[in-house]
Structure formats: C-alpha cells, structure tokens
C-alpha cells in the first residue's frame, strides 16, 4: 500500500497502512524481523544513516522493519505525520516529554488520570527536575491560571481512566493554542476509532498499545504520535528541537525535518539515549490486533452501553460513571469528541462500600480480576486497593477511584452473560 493514500477509510487503513508484501519472500503478513542489527550497503551508506541524511535501519534499539510498519499504521489511524513506538505506555509518556522539558520546567495535567500516571507525574519526574500541576480540566479558568512562563506542555486523557470521563478536547486545545503550548493527549481508552485528538487541537498523542490497540492482553507497548502541526521554533521554549544538536554536528531538528522534527528526535535522541525500545515480536502482535480494531471497538461500546444502563437501574449500585449514559454530565461531549461512542471503560460504586467491592471482585466468574484494560475479555479491578493505592484518599476520589468504586473494562463477550455474572456477584457482595 502506498504511503500517499490518506483517502482510505479507517477499516482499510487498520489492515493495510504502512505494510507491503515482503520484497524478499512475498510474505503478505508483516514478518517479525528478529534481528539486532542491519547490514550497511557500504561505508558511505552507514555514514549517511548515522548523520540522519538517509532513513533506514541500523540497530533495533533505534529502528526495526516490523516496528516501522506499526509506527506508520498508528500514525495513519490517528491522522499524524509520524509515530515512535516504545516499550510501554509509561515509556511513551516520558518519550513525549523528553524533548520538551528541562530542569525547572512544568506541565499542567488533568486530575483525572490513570493512577500510575499520577504517580509518574507527581513523584518520578521530580528526579528530572520537572514538576506537574494537577488541575480539574472541567475548570477551564483553573487550567489557564496554572500556565506560567515555565510551562512546557498540557496533558490529559481523551477518555479518562478509570472513570471513563470525556475531556472537552476542543476547549483544552484552544487553551493550549492560545498559550503557545503543545497539548499531549493519552488516547489509550478511546483509540483513534472513537476519538481523533488531532482534530481537536492536540499536538501529540500517546498510547499504551498494550490495551485496545493490541486487544488480546499479550504484549506491552507504547506509542507517541506527532501531528506535525506545532512550530517548535516559534517561541524559543523548545531548544532540543529548535537549537543546534551537538550530537549531530549542530543539526537543528525543526529546521531540517520540519513537520517530522519531533518524530525524528524521538528516534535519533529519545530511543538512542533512553533505550525504551519496542521489540519486533511485540510490534507483530499489535499489528495483528489493530487489524480488527474497529470491529472490536464497536462491540466493546455496544456491550458497555447495555451493561452500564443495567447497572444504573440496579438498587445495589450507588452510581455509574459511564459517559454513554444520558444521565452523565459528559454525555453531551460524545457527539463532538467521541462520535462513535464513549468507550468501554467506566466505574460504578457499591452501596456496601470497600468491603462490598472486594467481595464483588472475588465472586465474579467471567470477569477477570487483573490490572489491565482494553482486552477482548471483560476485566474488573478495585482501583483504590491496587492501581491507585499509592494515592491519598483525596487523590483517589479526584481520579475517580474512591474506596467504594470498582473499574470495569467491558469486553466483547455476550452482554447477557456478563450481566448474569455481575448479578450473581452483586447478590453475594450485598448479602
């Protein structure tokens, strides 16, 4: 498939984008290029690759043919100019910030984030001299007020984990644009099938490819996708991209690579020095998963709508946070931000509190109790005692992971079977 065919529909792109029959064997499926290094044609070819004068394969920490196909496919689905795949979603977050941040700089982030991301941003990045300001992104005045001269990025999730809240991306995108800052959107829970953040002002999109993109709970991975629309040299705030790079004889990424500046930096500096590499077998599994992404997401959403409505009517349940419910304060954002549905991730609270949540989790048979989401299987977790247990009670509540709340990731099984499983477990939890 040619790389200059953006007119294809999503269902076609998820199968064909970035791939061609293998030139050596004619293999139609993308092979797993399980090779550490790649032979240069001659000394001149090697020098051109290392000088970034020619694109090609050197060493699999940097570039690999299997991973390259995945990068092109994810970029095509998101509508970006390029992507860099790496070892996990958490690695993708650091990779997205690495060219933007310096000691003393900060980023403004949503309070509604995955618990591990809250820990990464509130604790771990301090070791780099970076800080994060946590703000309720529904309070746009607070978002604007949090931005200062040292702010270098704004970060949120399109559909927030764990509560399934939908961020008002057009509004946040305008705030970022007015401030001359890149907006980074974690699109893991929505996938590009449900949400296209670049159409709402995002600069970069990050993914944990571990989740819906792979869809089978088999491999970890991450991706950073570049919109190619941000002028990295305009403000002087991003010297890693606009100023001479000593490691490449003074090359300026923004000047040399234009819209692809961030992508090239992600490989030539980010992967080179941080080493957060995706392995080719993992890329292969994710490519296989993406081939059925739209089919799976439609079933995920249909099941989630049916199950969330059933839970909302159940007397044993205090509330349900699914944005696809007409009672949700975020229901009105679906048409604009996620026109194909509100995803399949949400929480619900039990009237019996913490103990009832634990009993529910232990009583389910079809739902798997795991620290993951986006699997074809339905999953459940009590976030307050697991993924969000490092947070304070106030942080847990702000993130939508209070003590009386469980998170569900609705799979693609028969919805009636899932409802029956929840019904029997709720009976045991409330007895």
Compute the average pLDDT of residues 273-298: 98
Q: What span, in angstroms and rounded, lies between the C-alpha atoms of 18 and 333?
A: 32
Q: What span, in angstroms and rounded, lies between the C-alpha atoms of 187 and 197?
A: 8
The pLDDT of residue 6 is above 70:
no
Confidence grade of residue 2 (pLDDT, cut at 50, 70, 90): very low
Confidence grade of residue 75 (pLDDT, cut at 50, 70, 90): very high
Give the model's pLDDT for residue 393. Answer: 82
The pLDDT of residue 247 is above 60:
yes
Q: What pTM value is reported for the model? A: 0.95
pLDDT digits (tens, 9 = 90+) for 202-238: 999 999 999 999 999 999 999 999 999 999 999 999 9
Look at residues 185, 183, 214, 166 and name the one whose alpha carbon lies nearest to residue 321: 166
Q: Which domains does the chain have, with CATH numbers?
A: 10-100+182-289 (3.40.640.10), 293-430 (3.90.1150.10)
Strand partners, 319: 349
Compute the average pLDDT of residues 324-343: 97
Give the model's pLDDT for residue 394. Answer: 82
The pLDDT of residue 4 is above 70:
no
Q: What span, in angstroms and rounded, lies between the C-alpha atoms of 88 and 374?
A: 14
Region of residue 339 (phi > 0: left; psi between -120 and 50: alpha; otherwise: beta): alpha
Q: What span, in angstroms and rounded, lies between the C-alpha atoms of 403 and 194?
A: 30
Instruction: Provide the 8-state DSSP code for 267.
Output: I
Helix (H/G/I), strand (E/B), else coil: 154: strand
What is the percentage of the chain residues whose pLDDT exceeds 90?
90
The pLDDT of residue 290 is above 50:
yes
Strand partners, 135: 110
The pLDDT of residue 351 is above 50:
yes
Q: What span, in angstroms and rounded, lies between the C-alpha atoms of 330 and 167?
A: 8
Instruction: Provide the 8-state DSSP code for 217.
Output: S
Look at residues 233, 228, 234, 235 and name the one whose alpha carbon lies nearest to residue 243: 233
pLDDT digits (tens, 9 = 90+) for 363-406: 999 999 999 999 999 999 998 888 777 778 887 777 777 889 99
Reading the block at residue 382, the tokens are: 């009590």
Give the model's pLDDT for residue 350. Answer: 96
Q: What span, in angstroms and rounded, lies between the C-alpha atoms of 38 and 27?
A: 20
The pLDDT of residue 1 is above 90:
no
What is the percentage of the chain residues whose pLDDT exceeds 70?
99
Q: What span, in angstroms and rounded, lies between the C-alpha atoms of 342 and 320?
A: 13
Complete DSSP assignment for 391-425? S-HHHHHHTT--TTEEEEE--SS-HHHHHHHHHHH
Look at residues 99, 89, 148, 155 and name the one whose alpha carbon lies nearest to residue 128: 99
Strand partners, 163: none
Q: What span, in angstroms and rounded, lies between the C-alpha atoms of 287 and 341?
A: 23
Give the model's pLDDT for residue 296. Answer: 98
Q: What span, in angstroms and rounded, lies between the C-alpha atoms of 136 and 234?
A: 29
Please check whether residue 73 is in contact with residue 17, taking contact to mean a CB–CB distance below 8 angstroms: yes
Q: Helix-strand-coil percent breakdown of the chain, rounded to 5? A: 40, 15, 45
Q: Are strands 106-110 and 131-135 parallel, antiparallel or unpaired?
A: parallel
């Amino acid at each position: 498939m040619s790389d200059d065919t953006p007119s294809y529909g999503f269902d076609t792109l998820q199968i064909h984008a970035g791939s061609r029959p293998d030139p050596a064997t004619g293999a139609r499926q993308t092979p797993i290029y399980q090779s550490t290094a790649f032979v240069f044609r001659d000394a001149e070819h090697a020098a051109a690759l290392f000088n970034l004068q020619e694109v090609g394969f050197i060493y699999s920490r940097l570039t690999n043919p299997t991973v390259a196909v995945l990068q092109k496919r994810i970029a095509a689905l998101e509508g970006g100019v390029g992507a860099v795949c790496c070892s996990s979603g958490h690695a993708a977050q650091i990779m997205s910030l690495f060219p933007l941040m310096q000691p003393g700089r900060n980023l403004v982030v949503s309070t509604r984030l995955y618990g591990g991301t809250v820990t990464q941003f509130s604790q771990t990045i301090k070791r780099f001299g970076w800080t994060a300001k946590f703000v309720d992104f529904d309070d746009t005045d607070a978002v604007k007020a949090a931005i200062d001269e040292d702010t270098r990025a704004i970060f949120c999730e399109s559909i927030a984990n764990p509560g399934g809240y939908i961020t008002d991306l057009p509004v946040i995108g305008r705030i970022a644009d007015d401030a001359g800052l890149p907006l980074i959107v974690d699109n893991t829970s929505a996938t590009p099938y449900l949400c296209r953040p670049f159409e709402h002002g995002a600069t970069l999109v990050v993914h944990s490819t571990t989740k819906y993109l792979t869809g089978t709970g088999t491999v970890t991975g991450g991706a950073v996708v570049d919109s190619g629309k941000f002028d990295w040299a305009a403000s002087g705030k991003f010297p890693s991209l606009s100023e001479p790079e000593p490691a490449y004889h003074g090359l300026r990424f923004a000047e040399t690579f234009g819209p692809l500046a961030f992508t090239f930096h992600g490989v030539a500096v980010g992967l080179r020095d941080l080493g957060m590499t995706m392995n080719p077998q993992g890329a292969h599994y994710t490519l296989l998963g993406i081939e059925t992404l739209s089919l799976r997401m439609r079933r995920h959403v249909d099941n989630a709508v049916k199950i969330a409505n059933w839970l909302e009517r159940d007397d044993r349940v205090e509330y349900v946070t699914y944005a696809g419910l007409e009672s949700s304060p975020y229901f009105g954002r679906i048409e604009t931000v996620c026109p194909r549905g509100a995803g399949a991730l949400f929480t619900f609270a039990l009237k019996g509190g913490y103990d009832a949540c634990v009993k529910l989790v232990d009583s389910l048979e079809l739902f798997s109790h795991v620290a993951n989401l986006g699997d074809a299987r339905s999953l459940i977790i009590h976030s307050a005692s697991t993924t969000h247990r490092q947070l304070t009670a106030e942080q847990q509540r702000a993130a939508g992971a209070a003590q009386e709340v469980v998170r569900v990731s609705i799979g693609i099984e028969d919805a009636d079977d899932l409802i029956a499983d929840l019904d029997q477990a709720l009976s045991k939890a409330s007895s």
